[in-house]
Amino acid sequence: SVLFSCEEVVDVELQDGPIRLVIEASLDWEKGTVGNDQIIKLRTSTPYFDTQTDTSVTGASVEVINLDTNEVFVFQDQNNGNYTTDAFVPILNNTYQLTVIYNGEVYQGTETLLLAPDINTINQSIEDGFDDENLEVNVYFDDPEDEENYYLLKYYEEGDLLSSLEDVSDEFVNGNEIHDFYEKEDDEDSGEEAFVPGDVVEITLYAISERYYNYIKILNEQTDS
């Protein structure tokens, strides 16, 4: 038999939306540190097929105020889209307000600094994930009783471009030990490869608000669809 194939280039026209300011602001207090050094990143969105790589935003005003103490932290423009401070003072259960002023527009957001529980155990297995032939990383931590809690687990394997974000709620496990796992599968389309012995994974656990939990959950659902 003879098989023939032909190929035609089709130009897909996508409607470009307006360029928007993208603010990456996560003020994290790593246990065992004073938490003074913080960074906020400002970028602009780009059209889907745009090959422009430098979308950094400079010339903005960036500050954070502790609404409980009225202390203001000004972030300095590093002229590369990053705004930094080495004087931030993290106080648990205090509420912080971020204000960004750019091109005459004011952007604000408010969040409370929450305490994340300690991780009890990290191990690996091949029976707790979706595929009983692939390695997965297991994380265990205790959830406080009698309160609603929401968590973000960030998994980053050395060499990957991006971290994997897992949203976790204590809705059905309140006051108990929570187990989360991270598994990768071989995927030619995405280039993802399953874990092999010797791979190094960095795991970070955050306590987050319900609002941020819902945002990450929607983001993950859209990414997986």
pLDDT score recorded for residue 4: 43
* Alpha carbon of residue 220 to chain centroid: 11
Give the C-alpha separation, 133 to 95, whole Å: 45
Q: Are 131 and 185 within 8 A, CB to CB?
A: yes
What is the pTM (predicted TM-score) of this model?
0.83
pLDDT at 3 over 50: no
Give the C-alpha separation, 81 to 57, whole Å: 5
CATH architecture of the domain with residue range 119-224: Sandwich (2.60)
pLDDT score recorded for residue 5: 39
Domains 21-112 and 119-224 share a fold: yes
Q: In the predicted model, what is the mean pLDDT of the chain?
A: 88
- The domain locations on the chain are 21-112, 119-224
CATH architecture of the domain with residue range 21-112: Sandwich (2.60)
pLDDT digits (tens, 9 = 90+) for 128-169: 656 666 899 999 999 999 899 999 999 999 988 889 999 999
Q: Are 204 and 173 within 8 A, CB to CB?
A: no
Take residue 167 and report the two structure tokens written for it: 């949203």
The lowest-confidence range among 1-10, 82-91, 197-206 is 1-10
Take residue 85 and report the two structure tokens written for it: 């401070």
Residues in the chain: 225
pLDDT score recorded for residue 132: 66
User: Looking at the DSSP assignment, which residues form a beta bridge with residue 74?
Assistant: 63
